[in-house]
A and B are shown apart, each in its own frame.
Chain A
Amino acid sequence: MNHSLIGGRWRRWPGRLRLRIESSAEDRRQFYEAILPAAEQALEYLGQFSLDELPPEASRLLQLMLSLAEISLTQEVYTPEVEAVHARSNRLIRVLRRSSTAAEYLLDRPWLSLHVGENGTLNP
């Protein structure tokens, strides 16, 4: 696995996406085949907890399952060639995660109210 890109701009990406982009097709296949057989059992186990009360071992298991969600696309949906396109384009995407609401998005853009008709419908 090539770690030369770790650091600098790559720190902007979530770890799962960064590792997916940097890993080889063989690395992704091995991970997928190792985790998938236990996925159903793992989700069943995780289902007994709420997100706010995860014990440490369940939290680590959840991180593995989230990695499976990311990697499974490369094994079940895309060919390696298509995944190469994703890797190139994802370098142009900066992903930010924060807690806010769609209502806040609209409130930050008061000019959008110009498009709301008298009956409350959205008028593009």
Chain B
Amino acid sequence: MRVLPSRRRYRAIRDPNWQLDVHGIFPNLLLEVAPTFFYAIELIPISPTRTRWISHHYLPKAENPCQRFSQEYNVAAFRDTVAEDLAVLGTLQASMMSVPAGPFTSSRTKCCAGTATTRSNATCGRSDGTHAAGGVFAA
């Protein structure tokens, strides 16, 4: 496969603030392309309440120890970001599961989802917060 940036993309990547492109491909794939890495996320439903999240993170081969050190730092920071996403999504799923089916399920679910997100963000700053990550993701 050969992927070339369009004229619009060429203009964008000349911008000094450009960091990366994110391509969302329906239904379950995200491709992130940057000068120093290529990243792909695949979300694979394995049951009505469980999803397998597979991330592929490609880095150029380090040529010296200093590059290896830099890559290790970036990979660790990136993995922590994914871990924070998991904490949020676990709470979100638990909240959605708590909503009984009914004629207003859709709107109530949205309401609870917003609450769950807020609560989960708060969890990041409290040690007593809970998140029901178990049962949602299978690594």
Residues of A at the B interface (CB closer than 8 Å) are 17, 43, 46-47, 49-51, 54, 58, 62, 65-66, 69-70, 72-73, 77-82, 84-86, 88-90, 92-95, 99-102, 105-107, 112-113, 115-116, 119-122, 124
Given contacts A69-B72, A92-B134, 18 further A-B contacts (CB under 8 A): A17-B79, A43-B65, A46-B65, A49-B64, A58-B65, A69-B69, A79-B125, A82-B124, A82-B125, A85-B83, A89-B131, A92-B86, A93-B82, A102-B58, A113-B1, A121-B3, A122-B31, A124-B24
CB atoms of A86 and B83 under 8 A apart: yes
Complex CA–CA separation, A91 to B63 (angstroms): 31
Which residues from chain B contact A106 at a C-beta distance below 8 Å?
1
Which residues from chain A contact B77 at a C-beta distance below 8 Å?
73, 77
Complex CA–CA separation, A88 to B91 (angstroms): 13
| Residue count of chain B within 8 Å CB distance of chain A | 48
Complex CA–CA separation, A85 to B82 (angstroms): 11
Which residues from chain A contact B72 at a C-beta distance below 8 Å?
66, 69-70
Which residues from chain A contact B127 at a C-beta distance below 8 Å?
80-81, 84
Which residues from chain B contact A43 at a C-beta distance below 8 Å?
65-66, 69
Top 5 A-B pairs ranked by shortest CB distance? A120-B4, A89-B83, A46-B65, A69-B73, A102-B38
